Amino acid sequence: MTLKELLCGISYVVIKGNDEIPISDIVYDSRKTVENCAFVCISGTITDGHRFLREAEQKGVSAIVMEHLPIQLTEIHLNHMTIVLTEDSKKALACMSANYFAHPDREMMVIGITGTKGKTTTAHMIKAILEADGRKTGMIGTMGSYIGSQKIPLLHTTPPSYEVYRLLRQMAEEGCKYVVMEVSSQGLKLSRVWGIQFAAGIFTNISTDHIGVGEHRNFEEYLYWKSRLFCQCEVGIINQDETFHEKMEEGHFIPFLHFGMESNADFYFDTIKQEKRNGFLGLSCNLKGRVSFSCEIGMPGRFNAYNALAAIAAAIYFGCSPSAICDALFNIRVKGRTELIPVNGDYHLMIDYAHNAVSLESLLKMLRSYEPGRIVCLFGCGGNRSRYRRYAMGKISGQYADFSILTEDNSREEPLMEIIKDIIEGMHQTNGEYIVIPSREDAIYYSIKYALPGDMIVLAGKGHEDYMEQNGHRIHFSEHEIVQKILKRIANEPERNQ
């Protein structure tokens, strides 16, 4: 494929060389450049691809696509290379990737999901329903990429556009007819899904998260980028109970379907009943609106009722049968999302991904409604992120848990105890009891070792993650593995202290 063919669809100027040269591949990371490839210089929050032209030259790159001419350009000969200038290299990468992989999104129904909370669970629900209805489905999101049951790990909820299109091509080649994709606000802002025509877009909810250094400047910007999903959709599916749902629809001239708990929605539950029996912790619901049927959801909490409504709305829109919907929702389990871990004791242990105040509040309120003896909440907060999140999570746990265990959770480059001090500041706005145990493994041991009858212990924040970020490094840390190790250790101890 020639450079000109790759650049079809975007405006550009050839500064040097010519655009008829053949290109072997597209690369956006200078460490991965190969001979005869096109290197796209991406300006990021941490580094700038324009700084690595010399490395690209040394590796035999044929073309460089950039959005500004760096000073060091004059210091590098670049004799054999074509240089192209475009307005936005992130969009250029997306367009080039779409052309390189022959627009795989046009061969499948791609469903995009955005929102502060619920993206992952909703995506799993939709995938499960489509597969129960006999439709091979791929998925891209927080927990990785899936082609059927095959898992491909990912570093981002919405990976860079080249990776998105590569995965879509792989899914199309594997016979997928549908793809469910989590679309983060950062993914939209950084043009990672630019050019994809979504068969449907879903908005779950929005709250004041992901605002701060390296994320969004303010809530208005966050809301704006969430709403941009609907510029690329054939139909929108919206949670109408959200305060800002009208803002999400503003300026978009596509049909919208609405879900919620009020009878004016296209899809709503007129009754929701909590179910707790034989290890089943979930909901029984009665659907009304455009269709009517009853179903059970194998995950607890009102927020999962909303996730299920979003999934049902999408499934009905794409013609899935009620029986497929009911079967999939009854059997749905999502790793690290309100996930009950079997224990040999008269207490419950749950792993959940709640890592901000809104999701933690929803989780703890939901657990309280099941009337446990105590709620023990173990959590930490990420480093190099908004300090407000730490105060807020401390306050929420102090209000809604009976006992909190403050520990680590991806401290990154920040001192752990500085993060915990911020959490404590929020805790001190309540009368909540807490203990600080910096090591998360030690904290988990403490929570299980000293569990009381009727306790509901929730390990919040890590969810499905199998790593911990500390001092600039990512180390293996699977909460699921650690829990099993601790349960065996305690079972072999001579006596369990209370």
Chain segment 375-433, per-residue pLDDT in tens: 999 999 999 888 899 999 999 999 999 999 999 999 999 999 999 999 999 999 999 99
Beta bridge partners of 151: 146
Ligand-binding annotation for 117, yes or no, is: yes
The C-alpha atoms of residue 6 and residue 96 are separated, in whole angstroms, by: 5
Q: Is the pLDDT of residue 176 over 70?
A: yes
Q: Average pLDDT for residues 172-190, to the nearest whole number?
A: 95
Ligand-binding annotation for 116, yes or no, is: yes
Q: What is the DSSP letter of 370?
A: T
Ligand-binding annotation for 32, yes or no, is: no
Pick 348 or 208 by higher pLDDT: 348
Ligand-binding annotation for 449, yes or no, is: no
Ligand-binding annotation for 192, yes or no, is: yes
Ligand-binding annotation for 136, yes or no, is: no
Lowest mean pLDDT among 127-131, 214-218, 258-262, 346-350: 214-218
CA-closest candidate to residue 112, choices 181, 199, 186, 188: 181
The pLDDT confidence band at residue 77, using thresholds 50, 70 and 90, is: low
What is the per-residue pLDDT for 208? 65
Q: Average pLDDT for residues 326-343, to the nearest whole number?
A: 94
The C-alpha atoms of residue 50 and residue 40 are separated, in whole angstroms, by: 9
Sign of the C-alpha dihedral computed for residues 370, 465, 222 and 393 taken in this order: positive
Q: Average pLDDT for residues 252-271, to the nearest whole number?
A: 97
Q: Average pLDDT for residues 183-200, to the nearest whole number?
A: 94
Ligand-binding annotation for 30, yes or no, is: yes
φ, ψ at 283 (rounded to 5°): -140, 150
CA 60 to chain centre: 36
CA-closest candidate to residue 301, choices 364, 348, 371: 364
**Strands (DSSP E) along 54-94, which ranges?**
63-66, 82-86
Ordered by where they begin, the domains of the chain are 3-99 (3.40.1390.10), 103-331 (3.40.1190.10), 339-491 (3.90.190.20)
Q: Is the pLDDT of residue 215 over 70?
A: no
Percent of the chain residues past pLDDT 90, beyond the cut:
78
C-beta of residue 407 within 8 angstroms of C-beta of residue 464: no
Q: Is the pLDDT of residue 496 over 60?
A: no
Q: Average pLDDT for residues 460-481, to the nearest whole number?
A: 95
What is the rounded average pLDDT for all residues in the chain?
A: 92
Ligand-binding annotation for 82, yes or no, is: no
pLDDT tens digit sequence for 132-159: 999 999 999 988 899 988 888 787 778 8
Percent of the chain residues past pLDDT 70, beyond the cut:
94
What is the per-residue pLDDT for 319? 98
Ligand-binding annotation for 158, yes or no, is: yes
C-beta of residue 139 within 8 angstroms of C-beta of residue 123: yes
Report the predicted TM-score, pTM, of the whole model to 2 decimal places. 0.85
Helix axes 89-100, 161-173, angle to 10 degrees: 20
Ligand-binding annotation for 112, yes or no, is: no
What is the per-residue pLDDT for 455? 94
The pLDDT confidence band at residue 211, using thresholds 50, 70 and 90, is: low
Ligand-binding annotation for 118, yes or no, is: yes
The C-alpha atoms of residue 314 and residue 110 are separated, in whole angstroms, by: 11
Residue with tokens 């730490």: 390
C-beta of residue 184 within 8 angstroms of C-beta of residue 195: no
Q: Is the pLDDT of residue 161 over 70?
A: yes
Q: Is the pLDDT of residue 85 over 90?
A: yes
